[in-house]
Amino acid sequence: MTSRRDALKLAGLGMGALAVGSGQAAAATNPGTLYSSSVAHGPDRSYRPGRAGTDYTPVETPNGSTLPYKIKNGVKIFHLVAEQVDHEFADGLNGRCWGYNGRVHGPTIEAVEGDRVRVYVTNRLPAATSVHWHGVILNSGMDGVSGLNQQAIEPGETFVYEWTFQQFGTFMYHSHHDEMTQMAMGLLGMIVVHPRRPSEPKPDRDFALMLSTWKMRPGERRPDPNEMTDFNILTINGKAYPATTPLVARTGQRVRIRIGNLSAMHHHSIHLHGYAFEETMTDGGLVPLSARRPETTTLVPVGATRTVEFIANNPGDWAMHCHMTHHVMNQMAHGGANMLGVDPAAFQGRVASLLPAYMAMGQTGMGEMGEHIESGHMPVPENSLPMVGSQGPHGYISMGGMFTLLKVRDGITDFANPGWYDDPVGVARPATVEELNRDEVGILNAQTE
């Protein structure tokens, strides 16, 4: 329980935060309590439940959802049900995962700083579980580490957690019982807490993205929690490209993207094309204005969130992806021979005489693999998604995994996928002979001719 002294301190922090907020950023200044608050908190402080649209711009979780709640006596009541979920990572690839409320990952819990929340957790898994509220400042007994803070929630049991959000920011929740297994199976989700009194402009578009990694060999139907290094399904909100839903904004809107990473072993450097952005928050709190710098890539470590913001002033279709190149492949294997530069003439016929369906491949890379597979002449195992990307407006997009799109359009009011962007300025194309001659690009000219 919070003591009077603590309450005063919290109240002081709130005031400080307000003061700081008015001066750019609402970060706490008291060492040891660096989390961000925009108002004072304490037992003698209470706030009415925050209202979507009024108190905050609702966050959008592409391919996901927001956890509904009801209000009882001023408390927001949430209910999470941990259960097995047959989850589709992308068309053609399903897995028997564990999730919350029928989803992988769990729905985003959205609240406003100062909200009193009560979260019921029902366990419909075959194993015991618990839920940890990652980054949320609360009393120890609610922190969710089984054995340490509470008993594990046995199958069939429902536990209740309750606290007041005394901070705002981007956080996460995940199982904290047999973490290695349960997180690898998908038991995680995002928490978004809006500031009660925002010191910075509200975003027009607010997105929450959870990054995670999985291992399922082609043909398997259940993620392998024992994998430690060679993850082959890389997802944003549980989806691998081309199943990731694009982020859509209107030109001129302020866009906030909250990125959490609960991958087992990998950090992700998320790169956005077409924009420079600022990293405004971590799961620890607001980044002071003085510490912000323009970036095009933000590194999201395992067990952390990063929030970036920018004005969508550059219309177009923009790739946004992890820049670790193996993280934008679908079900890539790493044990095969390197075929790059190999001349297959010496063995193609001999191998094909033994294996009529054989076709040498990989000699020039893997860029065409997805197309081969999509065309159907190279069948792959059932329930698999090897190398698959998707058809784009100008050919095949040879990307997969942790890849999505930011689509910025002028004047739109409907934020459904607007389709491919037709760039009025111009699209890269083969150079003409006249151009090559004009600019005296001799060698290329010769090749063109």
What is the binding site for another protein (CB under 8 A)? 217-219, 331-333, 335-344, 346-347, 350-351, 353-355, 357-358, 360-362, 366, 369, 372-373, 378-381, 384, 386-387
State the Cα torsion 241-277-57-118 to the nearest 10°.
Answer: 70
Query: CB-based contacts of 393: which residues, under 8 Å, 6+ apart?
Result: 317, 420, 421, 422
**Shortest distance in whole angstroms from residue 381 CB to another protein:** 4
Tell me whether residue 156 or residue 336 sits nearer to another protein (CB atom): 336
What letter would DSSP give residue 345?
A: G
E strands, 312-394, in order = 316-322, 390-392
Least separation, in Å, of the C-beta of 404 and another protein? 23
Beta bridge partners of 279: 308
CB 96 within 8 A of CB 86: yes
Comparing CB distances to another protein, the nearer of 53 and 336 is 336
Locus of tokens 């999201």: 300
- Based on its alpha-carbon atoms, the radius of gyration of the chain, rounded to whole angstroms, reads 25
By beta-carbon proximity to another protein, the closer residue of 271 and 372 is 372
Q: Which is nearer to another protein, 58 or 219 (CB)?
A: 219
Q: How far is the CB of 391 from another protein (least distance, A)?
A: 19
Q: Give the shortest CB-394-to-another protein separation in angstroms.
A: 25
Between 311 and 339, whose beta carbon lies closer to another protein?
A: 339
Taken in order 350, 353, 355, 358, the sign of the CA dihedral is positive
Contact 17, 39 (CB under 8 A): yes
**Residue for token digits 């009025």?**
424
Cα gap 286→169, rounded to integer Å: 8
The amino acid present at 38, given as its one-letter code, is: S
d(CA 330, CA 186): 18
Task: Please say which residue, 25 or 388, places its beta carbon nearer to another protein.
Answer: 388
Q: Minimal distance in Å, beta carbon 214 to another protein?
A: 16
Minimum CB separation of residue 380 from another protein in Å reads 4
According to DSSP, the residues that pair with 305 across neighbouring strands are 260
Q: Which amino acid is at 298?
A: T
Structure tokens given for 202: 């509200």
Encode burial over 186-206: b for 16+ CB neighbours within 10 A, e otherwise. Answer: bbbbbbbbbbbbbbbeebebb
Nearest to 359 by CA among 375, 371, 347: 347
CB of 91 to another protein, least distance (A): 16
Question: Are the C-beta atoms of 190 and 168 separated by less than 8 Å?
Answer: no
Residue 26 CA to residue 20 CA, distance in Å, equals 5
Closest to another protein by CB, 357 or 416:
357
Which CB sits closer to another protein, 211 or 385?
385
Q: Judged by CB, which is closer to another protein: 61, or 331?
A: 331
DSSP state of 348: H
Give how far Cα 105 sits from Cα of 223, 348, 447, Å. Answer: 14, 45, 51
C-beta of 335: minimal distance to another protein in Å? 7
Nearer to another protein by Cβ, of 325 and 432: the residue is 325
Closest approach of another protein to the CB of residue 319, in Å: 23
Task: Please say which residue, 11 or 360, places its beta carbon nearer to another protein.
Answer: 360
Backbone angles phi, psi at 141, to 5 degrees: -65, -15
Shortest separation between residue 46's beta carbon and another protein, angstroms: 57
Asked if 303 and 375 count as a contact pair (C-beta separation under 8 A), the reply is no
12 or 344: whose CB is closer to another protein?
344
Measured from the CB of residue 353, what is the shortest distance to another protein in angstroms?
Answer: 8
φ/ψ region of 63 (left if φ > 0, alpha if ψ in -120 to 50, else beta) reads left
Least separation, in Å, of the C-beta of 375 and another protein?
12
